[in-house]
Structure 1
């Protein structure tokens, strides 16, 4: 797929989606959010894809919403549509059958930080920076708060939200916002290796696991165990689980059918 705002490249089961508004730090205009959502919908039906990487072009990952566009419209209905569109995009990432990795360089602020927090995994350059700075301009980052408060401990989330200050990559790693830090020159390779490991797995198994992870998080302990016990039964009955177990017993490489 080639789009003026979003570029897609597929390689060995990994779809890399590059936000392509470098002059605006890849800020999430309405058009970019719609393009990204549409591409994720296409990936949901593409059984050849087993992992997605979201990255930014130019000097940074994503600077959040396009405030110039929003201020230019200046109408309540447009504001509502913008935030509903963003909420739908983030939920699409969560509901996608395959894991999503955020590849972060430069800055990830406001809805850009929300995008990092929403992704299943995040790998960042060791000089990247993160913030939810809405409070500084009178616009509290309430929708980024939804993802952030689910990705890190409450007090860490509140500190970011209340101060609006930038934190460095090391701090983002310490609070659990990102999984790994690497030198910026190694970022592409590090993400490719991680995505490749994931893409080597059964798509069906990844889907079952991701969906179960999201579902059990909101359940009380006993209900979570009950739900995941049923997921294990469902998983055991799949063709890929039977193949994988047989391959393990017989010391051979499994041949996935993604069923």
Structure 2
């Protein structure tokens, strides 16, 4: 297992599965400026690591992520925005919309607050411990959540999304599962075992084909139907010209398991 990062975020790769752990447990993994930079570096590493095919994101200690640390003395928890106000980029992190088309699993081990829930809206799978909780408290402190308001209504029933966003109330894991925010709820002791098992199942698929499928799922709903189909057929042709596509066909003919290389 390869491990990098001894600061507020740990990046560990075991085979083709990466575990990114938010590790500022003394502050319930609330994000300050230093942690924001470490988070962005970890996700950028995953995005560009050819051997990393699937990610699991979780929190150290008893919390998943307690949102932004409003007492940060190390910089903006939202990240650095160089230049003047009008020149500032708005997409500077995974939560704000970095395009990472590799599969991502969230293993929610405790409270997910603000940024913590926004992160879930960019994950493909959410596995929650039975004692996990979820909240967007921004409306109760007079600060609107923007990306959460954009993403959550497309992830779950709009009325349930607006209830979370506008009341600022906290829901438990059972309710999160009921409304579709969490796909699975498991005992806390089984959380990482279940997440790793799902990651293992995902690595059995062709990684480049999976990325094309995820990109189609993300981009397609924003396109007209004709444009979406044309885009999808282009992705299919690109993926079909890869070494993995040839390997998949050969494995099917030879009745063996394919050996994917992400090429």
User: Would you say same fold, with TM above 0.5?
Assistant: yes
- Offset at residue 172 of structure 1 (A): 1.2
Change (3 A) 1:95 1:168: same
**Residue-by-residue CA offset, 1:31-55 (whole Å, 9 max, x unaligned):** 1121111122222222111111111
Q: What is the aligned counterpart of 1:213 among 214, 217, 223? A: 217
Q: What is the aligned counterpart of 2:258 among 227, 246, 254? A: 254
- Offset at residue 111 of structure 1 (A): 1.0
Query: Following superposition of structure 1 onto structure 2, how do residues 173-252 of structure 1 map, counting pairs within 5 Å?
Result: 173-252=177-256
**Contact 2:91 2:98 (8 Å CA) reproduced:** no
Structure 2 match to 1:12: 15
- Offset at residue 247 of structure 1 (A): 1.2
**Contact 2:7 2:38 (8 Å CA) reproduced:** no
**Contact 1:12 1:199 (8 Å CA) reproduced:** no
**Contact 1:40 1:92 (8 Å CA) reproduced:** no
Structure 2 match to 1:160: 164
> Partners of 1:69 and 1:94 in 2: how far apart?
23
Structure 2 match to 1:69: 72
> Partners of 2:101 and 2:29 in 1: how far apart?
25
Is 79-88 or 200-209 further displaced after alignment? 79-88
Structure 2 match to 1:46: 49
- TM, length-normalised to structure 2: 0.87
Is 170-179 or 124-133 further displaced after alignment? 170-179
**Contact 1:131 1:167 (8 Å CA) reproduced:** yes
> Partners of 2:239 and 2:171 in 1: how far apart?
40
- TM, length-normalised to structure 1: 0.89
Structure 2 match to 1:56: 59
Query: Which one scores higher on RCO, CA 8 angstroms, separation ≥ 6?
Result: 1
Change (3 A) 1:79 1:108: closer
> Partners of 2:205 and 2:145 in 1: how far apart?
36
Q: Number of aligned pairs?
A: 254
Q: Structure 1 regions of 5+ residues with no counterpart?
A: none
Change (3 A) 1:186 1:80: closer
Structure 2 match to 1:2: 5
1:123 aligns with 2:127: yes
**Residue-by-residue CA offset, 1:94-133 (whole Å, 9 max, x unaligned):** 5124211111011101111111122122111122110111
> Partners of 1:163 and 1:245 in 2: how far apart?
52
**Contact 1:94 1:119 (8 Å CA) reproduced:** no
**Contact 2:79 2:92 (8 Å CA) reproduced:** no
Q: What is the aligned counterpart of 1:146 among 143, 146, 150? A: 150
Q: Structure 2 regions of 5+ residues with no counterpart?
A: 82-87
- Secondary structure, in 3 states, of the residue corresponding to 2:35? helix
Is 101-110 or 172-181 further displaced after alignment? 172-181
